Amino acid sequence: MKRLLLFTFIGLNLFACSSDNGENNTNNPDVVFPVPLQSGNYWTYDVIGNGTNSRDSLYISGDTIIQSKSYKKFKTKNDISNGFYSTALKNNGVREENQLLVLNGDFSFGQGQTLPVGLDLTLNDFIIFKKNASEGELLSSKSGSFEQTINNIPMVIEYNLKSQGGVTLNSFISPNGDSYSEVKTTKIILNLKVSTIQVFNGVPFTITLFPSQDVVTSTQYIAKNIGVVYTKTITNYTLDNNLAGQLGIPATTNQTQEEFLDTYIVN
C-alpha cells in the first residue's frame, strides 16, 4: 500500500516513452512539477524482470559538495541494487537548477541489464529531468570511446548516452494496477558500437564487431507530489552468432525490467 506521510514532494526520473495503457496524454509544456529535494525522502521499489523478483530501497542521505556545488546524496539501503533507476542514482549527487535536475557521479547499470561490454560512465551535471520538456527533446548527451579486451580480442567501444523529455499525462495506470494523476515521463537511451582493428599485409583495417544499436532504453514515470512511481527498462541487442561465440556473450538479448513504487516518505 502506498503511504504519504508528509507534505512536500519530489519528482525524479531517468526515462521516458509514450504510454500504451490508455492514459489521457495532454503533452502540455506548461505543466510544472514541484521538485524539492529533501534529506530523508525515501522510496521502496519492487523490481521484476528476467524471472526474478527483488526490492530496492532508495533514500536521500543528506548534502554533498561536488566541485563547489551542493547536491543531495542518494543512497540505497543495500550495497547491491537491482533496478536501473536505483542503481543510476546510488551514491550520486542530484541538484535542481533552473527547472532542471542534474546528476553528478558514476553512472552504473543495474543487475537486470546484461550489456555486451563492460561500461561505467562518469557524468558531470547530466540532465536527467526537465520540468517543461517537450516529447523527444534532447536534454543531455555524452559520447566517447575506450578500449577493452574480451577473450583476447582488442576492441574499441563507442558509446552515446542521452536523455530525452517525455510526455505529460493527466492520469496513468501502472501495470500493477496502481493509478496516479499528473505524471511526466523522461527517457535515457544508451547506444553502443564495437569495432576492432586487424592488420593484413601491414595495412590496418577497422572491422565492425557490433553495429551501432540502442542497447538500453529506460523510461521513468514521475507523479506529481510523489516522485518516480514506475520504471520500465528494455535491454536489447543482436549480433552475429559466430562473433558472439568468440566473445563469449549471447548472440541475442531481449530483457525487460520493471520497477514498481511500493512505499514512500517525502518531506
| Low-confidence spans in the chain with pLDDT less than 50 | 1-32
What cell does 142 get? Answer: 555524452
pLDDT at position 210 is 82
The pTM score is: 0.82
DSSP element (H, E) containing 32: none
- 200-227 residue pLDDT tens: 877 878 888 788 999 999 999 998 888 8
pLDDT at position 28 is 46
Rounded Cα gap, residues 163 and 121, in angstroms = 14
Rounded Cα gap, residues 73 and 89, in angstroms = 9
State the virtual CA torsion across 54, 114, 214, 140 in degrees, nearest 10: 60
Sign of CA dihedral 219, 222, 223, 229: positive
pLDDT at position 203 is 81
Contact (CB, 8 A) for 260 and 46: yes
The sheet with strand 227-238 has its strands ordered as: 121-130, 100-107, 93-97, 69-76, 52-66, 42-49, 252-265, 227-238, 203-223, 179-200, 153-173, 138-150
